[in-house]
Chain A
């Protein structure tokens, strides 16, 4: 029997008590976590085997062939091609297996399911803000419903940051000037650390936050209370803010929302559409493309339209850009 103290060290046990927490890994609080840990412990055991085998040989040889006196005879062995072949091929095969298993779980981790619930994350020195485009609220902590696929679309107002939830095994850099995406599904209610893992200056180590996973009914109650607060303050957020900006910034003058061709292309159904550009290439209209087309519109002009839109670089806040994109994406 293995002493119970050793179990977590071996990556076994404690599954019930700490939701999959082991000596090496934190609790498994997302659907992804068990898969990542499987890959981790596969490599771990391969490593242990190699380490024991190789250091075992070193220590064994060091004692067995310890020099008794200077000048004693040694073997004339200078190598062995068959042995060399073995220790080149075995690591090669194991490497390929590691790559493949790691790659498969990675693919699972980077492609958000189509039915994901959208939350926008805006990072700045040194705090996180969370926008709920479809709910019209903005929150200072990340609250999500349990057992739901959640997609975070992240951007930064200043420097590089990185969004990390150890218990979920998800991490992604947050890059100024573009969007990056992570997704997760937390099956059980609970609270988990959010760390910033890309150095961002004096407040880097206090750029912490918490993700609160609530049961659906509690989540709905939280949403309602947040919406009541937002309504009382009268601040527009999300799609509603985007709609108002669309008029206020005079977008509506050149872009129809019903498919009519004006000076610029119509906005309805744009999201996810493949557009042909003036230079003959095509592009899928995702968040990054819409963002670029607002801030620097003449970079990638849709075929058939003149590059006449003024740039909005520096005239919209991160929240306003996000709101406009969300509004445009909401148009069918």
Chain B
């Protein structure tokens, strides 16, 4: 590997793998469960999130297995409906929302700022346990036999028609919101008040800009879903008409409230992904990121415009045509900053020194997947085509490409990129790269055919379907099992590396952001001295002088 790059923070002890690091400084289960160390909290989040991802993923494979044939022969309709509801609820509330910020973000944010911890370590631990508490409700729902509202809880179906533990699920989602708000608050304060000396806003890694924009959305949008879910619980228990027209309520009002949160929240899922890719595309091509301010600014503007476009989920809901037209127009406003990011990543590759390693493969895989996700969004922002495509498999494919493909591929990228820092071990590159191809092919085979099924008219949330869609559904099911297999292989080689992996040098990628300036794995308090930031996060040694 390359000679270690030195920032102004050069502490000889940091170059060695320390005897005592955050993983072994204290021992015992209690030292983990009650830790205030952001790194341990990040690791606990990661393990929990990946566990729920496996549960949600297995439910998805069950759904795909049912859809292999047009007849509803594997599960009953009621069971199938509960499966896609829990798949959606678990994946959105327990996996995608906290996926990158709470796990990777928690781990790297203070390190990138050259700090010993986040601003409020106890709040950080509290938000983890609130997450576990909320998650327990969803797990309990699952054990109780599930719920069949869909993760969107649309009224009046959820008010007085759905079966199962609706209130339990809503309460779980309600509680999870607080975890999200507290993490966001913690990150905002930390970034504002606790940057290393010399680390101006413009010297922050783009990951931090992304986490900052994400946190703002979490703090502003989450209270709205909390109130909405609370009103729905109210309506169900006390039978006060808020959303149910048979009691004088308005079902479309629920959709407005719901999407006012749930649209911005897709940026909670995907902005951190943009942050990760901005880091890895630069570090692994050894070149300064292209258009730093444009990328940082586009994160902030996506967060802002993201609040104004919730109505594009409701073109057909009965909201007025004029409202629809305004929402359609504003929706295109999000396409521009997203396009700028993509162009900037690609331009970063130009005249770089591109490593063909696992991290870079996943980074480029992300660009492929996110590009398809973003470009297909244009059909849905445009009103005439959205009428045809709304609530079909086209939408299913689109949001899996952006939310699941985008966020998940970025999470995988992030896990591989920071794996040495987190665990002190290197994973096997060859196995990593081969697994990438399996995952990439499996992923695209799963979701690309769904675009065709959708344009041909197949509605979503169908337990059985008319035979003309069979070929697309079968391709998708085969793809999903390939993708599932790839993820299990990944789990296998990552766990293997924990025990048998080569010990990682303190900065295996030659990165220059502050988290790589300390030991690997970091000591409990992150840094021996106080790092001073004089260099930008993308000023690599290989970059030629001048111009």
Please list the residues of chain A having a beta carbon within 8 angstroms of any beta carbon in chain B: 23-26, 35-36, 39-40, 43-44, 46-47, 50-51, 54-55, 57-58, 61-62, 65-68, 70-80, 83-84, 87-88, 91-92, 95-96, 98-99, 101-107, 109-110, 125, 158-160, 162, 164, 166-167, 169-173, 175-178, 180, 193, 195-206, 208, 296
Contacts of A84 in B (CB 8 A): 291, 294, 340, 343-344
Contacts of B2 in A (CB 8 A): 70-71
Interface flags for B312-339 (1: CB within 8 Å of A; 0: not) read: 0000111001001100110010011001
> Considering the chains assembled together, what is the distance between the CA atoms of A159 and B154 in angstroms?
9
Q: Provide a sorted-by-A list of 25 A–B residue pairs whose CB atoms are within 8 angstroms.
A: A25-B455, A36-B388, A55-B367, A61-B354, A65-B351, A70-B510, A79-B291, A79-B344, A83-B347, A84-B294, A84-B343, A87-B340, A87-B343, A95-B336, A99-B382, A102-B328, A159-B161, A160-B251, A170-B387, A171-B387, A178-B245, A199-B154, A201-B148, A205-B463, A205-B465
Contacts of A44 in B (CB 8 A): 379
What are the nearest 6 A-B pairs in CB distance?
A166-B457, A177-B245, A102-B382, A75-B351, A105-B384, A106-B383
B462 touches A102 (CB 8 A): no
Chain A proximity of B450: nearest CB distance (Å): 13
Contacts of B329 in A (CB 8 A): 99
Residue from A74, A160, A203 within 8 A of B542 (CB atoms)? A74
Query: A170-B387, A173-B317, A202-B81 known; A67 and B336 CB under 8 Å?
Result: no
A39 touches B317 (CB 8 A): no
Chain A proximity of B52: nearest CB distance (Å): 23
A101 touches B464 (CB 8 A): no
How big is the B interface, by class? 35 or more
Question: Does any Cβ of A come within 8 Å of B28's Cβ?
Answer: no
Please list the residues of chain B having a beta carbon within 8 angstroms of any beta carbon in chain A: 1-3, 72, 77-78, 81, 148, 150, 154, 156-157, 161-162, 245-246, 248, 250-252, 285-294, 316-318, 321, 324-325, 328-329, 332, 335-336, 339-340, 342-344, 346-347, 349-356, 364, 367-368, 371-372, 375-376, 378-379, 381-388, 390-392, 452, 455-457, 459-466, 510, 540-547
Query: A95-B335, A193-B466 known; A169 and B388 CB under 8 Å?
Result: yes
A65 touches B285 (CB 8 A): yes
A74 touches B462 (CB 8 A): no
B346 touches A106 (CB 8 A): no
> Can you name the residue of chain B whose Cβ is closest to the Cβ of A180?
B318
B318 touches A65 (CB 8 A): no
Query: A95-B336, A164-B457, A193-B466 known; A65 and B77 CB under 8 Å?
Result: no
Contacts of A198 in B (CB 8 A): 154, 391
Please classify the interface of chain A as helix (H, G, I), strand (E, B), loop, or mixed, using the class held by over half of its residues: mixed
B464 touches A78 (CB 8 A): no
B157 touches A159 (CB 8 A): yes
A102 touches B321 (CB 8 A): no
Contacts of B349 in A (CB 8 A): 57-58, 61-62, 65
Residue from B148, B251, B317, B375 within 8 A of A47 (CB atoms)? B375
> Considering the chains assembled together, what is the distance between the CA atoms of A164 and B78 in angstroms?
23
Chain B proximity of A139: nearest CB distance (Å): 22
> Considering the chains assembled together, what is the distance between the CA atoms of A95 and B332 in angstroms?
6
Contacts of A99 in B (CB 8 A): 328-329, 332, 381-382
Contacts of A96 in B (CB 8 A): 332
Contacts of A166 in B (CB 8 A): 388, 456-457
Contacts of B1 in A (CB 8 A): 70
Chain A proximity of B350: nearest CB distance (Å): 6
Contacts of A61 in B (CB 8 A): 346, 349-350, 352, 354
Residue from B161, B294, B388 within 8 A of A201 (CB atoms)? B161
> Considering the chains assembled together, what is the distance between the CA atoms of A54 and B154 in angstroms?
38
Chain B proximity of A22: nearest CB distance (Å): 9
B161 touches A50 (CB 8 A): no
A67 touches B367 (CB 8 A): no
Contacts of B162 in A (CB 8 A): 201
B455 touches A54 (CB 8 A): no
A76 touches B291 (CB 8 A): no
Contacts of A105 in B (CB 8 A): 383-384
Contacts of A26 in B (CB 8 A): 455-457
Contacts of B251 in A (CB 8 A): 160, 175-177
Chain A proximity of B235: nearest CB distance (Å): 14
> Considering the chains assembled together, what is the distance between the CA atoms of A204 and B383 in angstroms?
25
Query: A43-B378, A199-B157, A200-B157 known; A74 and B543 CB under 8 Å?
Result: yes
B378 touches A193 (CB 8 A): no
B544 touches A98 (CB 8 A): no
Chain A proximity of B68: nearest CB distance (Å): 15
Residue from A51, A73, A109, A296 within 8 A of B387 (CB atoms)? A109
Chain B proximity of A274: nearest CB distance (Å): 18
> Can you name the residue of chain A whose Cβ is closest to the Cβ of B455?
A24
B384 touches A101 (CB 8 A): yes
B351 touches A74 (CB 8 A): yes
Chain A proximity of B33: nearest CB distance (Å): 39
B542 touches A73 (CB 8 A): yes
Residue from B157, B294, B350, B376 within 8 A of A77 (CB atoms)? B350
Contacts of A170 in B (CB 8 A): 387
Chain B proximity of A207: nearest CB distance (Å): 10
Query: A35-B384, A54-B342, A75-B350 known; A204 and B391 CB under 8 Å?
Result: no
Residue from B78, B293, B387, B544 within 8 A of A75 (CB atoms)? B544
B390 touches A197 (CB 8 A): yes
B378 touches A77 (CB 8 A): no
Contacts of B364 in A (CB 8 A): 58, 62
Residue from B157, B354, B461 within 8 A of A66 (CB atoms)? B354
> Considering the chains assembled together, what is the distance between the CA atoms of A76 and B289 in angstroms?
10
Query: A43-B379, A78-B288, A200-B157 known; A66 and B356 CB under 8 Å?
Result: yes
A175 touches B318 (CB 8 A): yes
Query: A166-B457, A199-B157 known; A51 and B371 CB under 8 Å?
Result: yes
Contacts of A65 in B (CB 8 A): 285, 349-354
